[in-house]
Amino acid sequence: MRNSSSARSPHQAQDHIVAERKRREKISQQFIALSALIPGLKKIDKASVLGDTIQHIKQLQEQVKLLEEQSKRINAESVVYVDKSKSEDVSDTSSNNVSLPEIEARVLENKVLIRIHCEKQEGVLMNILREIDNLDLTVINSSTLHFGASKLDITIIAEMDDEFKLSVKELARKLRVGLLQLM
C-alpha cells in the first residue's frame, strides 16, 4: 500500500536507507573477497561468481575426499608399516600365500644397498650374489638375518662401477627378474 500501514518518520526513513546501503555494501565486499578465492574466474558478475564458487567447492570437496581416502589407505594396517607413512601396499588380498620376495634397492653415489625379504630357501644367498655379480656390482658388506622359522632378511651393500651405473628402478627390476626364475 502506498501509505497506509507504512508510516515512517523522516529520520526512520533515512535510517532505513542507510542500513540497507550498509547491508548491500557488506554483501558486495564479500562478493569481491569470494571472487579472489576462485581460480580461473573470468566473469565477475554475481551469477558467475556464485556458479563458479559452487563448482570450485564441489571440486575441492571431491579432491579432499580422494586424498583422504588415499591417506587412510596408507595408514591402514598392513603387514609392513614404514614410518613417514611412506609405505608400499603389501596387503595382498588376491595374492597367494607363497609370498614373493620383496626387493628394495637404494643408490647413494656409487654405492648400492640391496635388501631382499623372502622365504627361507636353499641357495638363495648364492643366487642373489651371482645375480649381483652379473650386474657388475662388487659386494662390500652383507648381512643375512633369519626372521622366524620361514623368512630371511638379506641386506647387501655393493659398489657400482662408474661406467655402469643403474637407477634404483632398473636395479630392482633386474634383480627381481633374476630371482623370480629360481623360486
Partner DNA sequence: AGGTACACGTGATGC
Partner DNA sequence: TGCATCACGTGTACC
Choice between 51 and 178, CB closer to DNA: 51
x-or-dash string of contact with DNA, 46-85, rule CB under 7 A: xxx-------------------------------------
Stretch that binds its own copies, among 1-9, 12-20, 47-55, 122-130 (CB under 8 A): 47-55
6 conformational bin, left if phi > 0, alpha if psi -120 to 50, beta if neither: beta
Burial string for 3-16 (b: 16+ CB within 10 Å, else e) reads eeeeeeeeeeeeee
Instruction: Pick out residues in 1-20 that bind DNA (CB under 7 A).
Output: 1-6, 8, 13, 15-17, 19-20
CB 116 within 8 A of CB 154: yes
Min separation Cβ 89 and its own copies, Å: 7
Instruction: Pick out residues in 89-128 that bind its own copies (CB under 8 A).
Output: 89-90, 100-109, 111, 113, 115, 117
Beta-strand pair 111-119/151-160: antiparallel
Stretch that binds DNA, among 25-33, 83-91, 95-103, 139-147 (CB under 7 A): 25-33
| Whole-angstrom distance, CA of residue 81 vs CA of residue 106 | 18
| Whole-angstrom distance, CA of residue 172 vs CA of residue 103 | 6
| Whole-angstrom distance, CA of residue 68 vs CA of residue 62 | 10
Give the three-class secondary structure for 155: strand
Work out which of 54, 119, 121, 134 binds its own copies, going by CB under 8 A.
54
Q: Does 77 engage in binding with its own copies (CB under 8 A)?
A: yes
Binding site for DNA (CB under 7 A): 1-6, 8, 13, 15-17, 19-21, 23-25, 27-28, 43-48
